[in-house]
Amino acid sequence: MSDKSVLCRKSLPLIQDHLLTPEWRDPRIGIVHLGIGNFHRAHEAVYTEEAMLAAGGDWAICGVTLQGDVTKRDALMAQDGLYSVVERGAEGVKTTVLRALREVLALPHDRARLFELLADTNVRIVSLTVTEKGYCRDTKTGDVDHGHPGIAHDLAHPGEPGTVPGILVAALRMRRDACIAPFTVLSCDNLSHNGAALRQVVCSHARMLDEALASWIEREVAFPSTMVDRIVPSTTNADRDAATAALGLRDEAPVPCEPFRQWVIEDHFPAGRPAWDQAGAQLVDDVIPFELAKLRMLNGTHSTLAYLSMLAGFETIDEAISFGPLRTLIHSMMTQEIAPTLSVPASFDLMAYRDALLDRYANPALKHRCAQIAMDGSQKIPPRLLATIATRLEHGESIARLALGIAAWFVFLCGRADDGTTFVISDPLASQLTALATHSGDDPKSLVDAMLGCRDVFSLELASNEVFRRALIEAVTQLKTGARSAIEKTNHKASETKSASRQNL
Ligand code: CS2
């Protein structure tokens, strides 16, 4: 424990060099954010502080953790909501103390205070970064998952919600009944059509409780979509020590991140919004092209890198991408298997985007752990890789590299790396998936057939596609000889196929 005094509002005059500007007029809370994780604190919170400095407005943030864990709340509230954003890039390290976060709550402990804020007319946006699993979504229908235990609780106790759909429905009902205009609901998660996906989950939950309320939400509440992008690793003790050394004050909750950031937002905010455009965000009519490009090019290759690395023994993304054959695989995966499935504005150069992603992955200062990305594969794989694969199959195009990414996930779920190291699987479906993987024995066919039988991940249509199944069996067979050699074999075979198809032209 450092002997330095803790970062707090009184200490701000001591660290003016680490503030965006010395002036700060203490705006009122205008945004409630569900899921006060590192990503939000390095992304939306940064854009929002910059927007308020540029154009004013009462848009301070109240962050809410839904996990019942009070440590994050207490650490941030002990610092008056202040924390460092620590950008690590080629130009070195930049430590900036953020002030936009005014209050932090932890459910279920602070539910009364949360609903007091959700009823406040100045709260005009409720944003979310709760990861894919936080939507409690039935992946087959897109409606709320009625079998989810949290949803069952919130249906039985609508006044004491703990899930995202339950909280939003209860808050919107409260505003409707008090004739207060609704807030805008802003999804900032890596889901395709994230605004529409959240709207469907919320309205289907509301319908279970009150048909008229569901209709009111459908008619009156805005759910704009966004594409969010910034690589933000988890915080380590080394980050805490580095931030403390930079500030000369103890910061228990710094957020490490890359210098790059991007935010593309559907401009639909009936109750108003911060001047995010003056902080570099892109306000557009149609987010989808940007969202799909990021979800497939970045997140799809991120997951592929993570699973192959967990088998090959690469600890971080920069270490993984420095393995030549793996960089070659990812480069050609984006070029030949992902980019052709995307349609983006003419101004969006997908090959330049690919090269920028490879540079971002190679950032040696970030130490972004593959194990962090490998979590929750059952929620991440479908939007990041399966949608791309389905498009490729529909057009009869190759999927060899994409299939290797899925096959690496299957082998990862067996819980053992190539060198025999074992790891624990962190996933909402961990028990179901690890049972399928480990009970299928060593035969690639039985592993593939067992995993394809998981309807929570694979649609019947995709699971029945023989081209997909054979590609997976071939990839799993190659992975049995080790991830590094499987990567090299896949590269070699793909380049052979490419030169053969050139000769046939
Ligand atoms: C990563 C994302 O952890 C993961 O699954 O792929 O958090 C990724 O770092 C962000 O989407 C980048 O914008």
pLDDT tens, N- to C-terminus, the chain (505 residues): 456 799 999 999 999 999 999 999 999 999 999 999 999 999 999 999 999 999 999 999 999 999 888 999 999 999 999 999 999 998 899 999 999 999 999 999 999 999 999 999 999 999 999 999 999 999 889 999 999 999 999 999 999 999 999 999 999 999 999 999 999 999 999 999 999 999 999 999 999 999 999 999 999 999 999 999 999 999 999 999 999 999 999 999 999 999 999 999 999 999 999 999 999 999 999 999 999 999 999 999 999 999 999 999 999 999 999 999 999 999 999 999 999 999 999 999 999 999 999 999 999 999 999 999 999 999 999 999 999 999 999 999 999 999 999 999 999 999 999 999 999 999 999 999 999 999 887 899 999 999 999 999 999 999 999 999 999 999 999 999 999 999 999 999 987 766 666 677 6
276/287 Cα distance (integer angstroms): 15
Q: Is 320 helix (H, G, I), strand (E, B) or coil?
A: helix
Same domain, 309 and 420: yes
| Span from the CA of 222 to the centroid of ligand 1 (angstroms) | 26
Structure tokens at 120: 């406040």
Same domain for 351 and 489, yes or no, is yes
Together in a domain, 375 and 245: no
Q: Whose CA is nearest to atom 1 of ligand 1?
A: 373
- Ligand 1 atom nearest the C-alpha of 368 is 9
Distance from the CA of 194 to the center of ligand 1, in angstroms? 15
Which CATH number fits the domain that encloses residue 484?
Answer: 1.10.1040.10
d(CA 299, ligand 1 centre) in Å: 6
In angstroms, the CA 192 to CA 12 distance is 40
Q: Which of 38, 131, 191, 231 to mutate to test the pocket of ligand 1 (most atoms within 8 A of CB)?
A: 231
101 and 219 part of one domain: yes
- The reply to whether 82 and 189 lie within a common domain is yes
Q: How many domains does the chain have?
A: 2
Q: Going by C-beta distance under 8 Å and a sequence separation of 6 or more, which residues neighbour residue 123?
A: 29, 30, 31, 32, 62, 117, 183
pLDDT value of residue 69: 81
Its sign, for the CA torsion 477, 330, 413, 144, is negative
> Quick one: three-class SS letters along 217-285?
HHHHCCCCCEEEECCCCCCCHHHHHHHHHHHCCECCCCEEECCCCEEEEECCCCCCCCCHHHHCCEEEC
| CA-closest residue to ligand 1 atom 3 | 373
pTM: 0.95
Protein residues with CB under 6 Å of any ligand 1 atom: 190, 229-231, 298-299, 302, 372-373, 380
Q: Is residue 20 part of a domain?
A: yes
User: Which residue has a Cα nearest atom 10 of ligand 1?
Assistant: 231
Residues 379 and 362 in one domain: yes
Q: How far is the CA of 294 from the centre of ligand 1 (A)?
A: 10
Residue-range definition of the domain harbouring residue 110: 9-284
Of 46, 302, 381, 426, the residue with max ligand 1 atoms within 8 A of its CB, to mutate for a pocket test, comes to: 302
387 domain residue, yes or no: yes
Note whether 278 and 294 are same-domain residues.
Answer: no
Would residue 255 count as lying in a domain? Answer: yes
Tracing tokens 């940064």 back to the chain, one arrives at 46
Do 37 and 125 fall within a single domain?
Answer: yes
3-state secondary structure of 361: helix
Q: Do the Cβ atoms of 363 and 89 come closer than 8 Å? A: yes
- Computed on alpha carbons and rounded to an integer, the radius of gyration of the chain in Å comes to 23
Domain CATH code at residue 71? 3.40.50.720
Asked whether residue 1 is domain-assigned, the answer is no
Final residue of a structural domain among 245, 267, 284: 284
Q: Which residues contact 119 (CB under 8 A, 6 or more apart)?
A: 171, 174, 175, 178, 180
User: Do residue 181 and residue 257 come from a single domain?
Assistant: yes
Cα of 228 vs centre of ligand 1, distance in Å, is 10
Ligand 1 atom at shortest distance from the alpha carbon of 230: 13
Distance 116 CA to ligand 1 centre (A): 32
* Residues 132, 384: Cα–Cα separation, whole Å: 11
Closest ligand 1 atom to 299 CA: 6
In angstroms, the CA 386 to CA 393 distance is 10
Atom of ligand 1 nearest to the CA of 228: 13
Domain annotation covers residue 339? yes
409 CA distance to ligand 1 centroid (A)?
16
Rounded Cα gap, residues 366 and 318, in angstroms: 8
Whether residue 2 is contained in a domain is answered as no
Both 238 and 379 in a single domain? no
Beta bridge partners of 86: 95, 256
Q: Whose CA is nearest to atom 13 of ligand 1?
A: 229
The pLDDT value given to residue 460 = 96
Residues 484 and 371 in one domain: yes
| 466 CA from centroid of ligand 1 (Å) | 31
Tell me which of 261, 284, 307 is where a domain ends: 284
Asked whether residue 4 is domain-assigned, the answer is: no
Residues 262 and 318 in one domain: no
Ligand 1 geometric centre to CA of 191 (Å)? 11
Q: Which of 226, 230, 262, 298 to mutate to test the pocket of ligand 1 (most atoms within 8 A of CB)?
A: 298
Domain boundary among 233, 252, 284: 284
Distance 189 CA to ligand 1 centre (A): 10
Has residue 160 been placed in a domain? yes
- Picking from 54, 58, 63, 107, the residue whose alpha carbon sits closest to that of residue 82 is 63
